[in-house]
Amino acid sequence: MIGLYVAGNSVLHRVPAGLKLLLLAIGIFGVLLLRRPWQMGIALLAVIALYALATVPWQTAWAQLRPLVWIVVIVASFQLVFAGVDRSVMVAGALVVNVALAALLTLTTKVTAILDVCQWLLRPFRRVGLDPDRIGLMLALTIRCVPLVAGIVSEVSDARKARGVIGLRGSVVALAAPAVIRALRAADAIGESLTARGIDD
Check whether residue 144 and residue 91 sit in a common domain. Answer: no
CB neighbours of 150 closer than 8 A, spacing ≥ 6?
67
Q: How confident is the model at residue 195 (pLDDT cuts 50, 70, 90)?
A: low
What is the C-alpha separation between 60 and 66, in angstroms, rounded?
Answer: 10
In a domain, 97, yes or no: yes
Our count of domains for the chain comes to 2
Check residues 160 and 40 and name the one with the higher pLDDT: 40
Which stretches within the chain are classed as H helix? 11-14, 17-32, 37-53, 58-65, 69-83, 85-108, 111-122, 132-162, 172-196
User: Which class for 16: exposed (0-12), middle (13-18), buried (19 or more C-beta within 10 A)?
Assistant: exposed
In a domain, 124, yes or no: no
The domain boundary, picked from 109, 141, 172, lies at: 109
Output the pLDDT for position 26: 93
Check whether residue 70 and residue 160 sit in a common domain. Answer: no
Helix (H, G, I), strand (E, B) or coil at 41: helix
Output the pLDDT for position 122: 80
- Residues 141-145 have a mean pLDDT of 67
Q: Which domain holds residue 54?
A: 11-109
Check whether residue 135 and residue 192 sit in a common domain. Answer: yes
Check whether residue 39 and residue 98 sit in a common domain. Answer: yes
Q: How confident is the model at residue 45 (pLDDT cuts 50, 70, 90)?
A: very high
In a domain, 150, yes or no: yes
Check whether residue 105 and residue 168 sit in a common domain. Answer: no
The domain boundary, picked from 64, 80, 109, lies at: 109
Check whether residue 51 and residue 103 sit in a common domain. Answer: yes
Check whether residue 104 and residue 133 sit in a common domain. Answer: no
CA-closest candidate to residue 107, choices 158, 149, 65 = 65
Check whether residue 160 and residue 94 sit in a common domain. Answer: no
In a domain, 123, yes or no: no
Check whether residue 20 and residue 103 sit in a common domain. Answer: yes
In a domain, 180, yes or no: yes
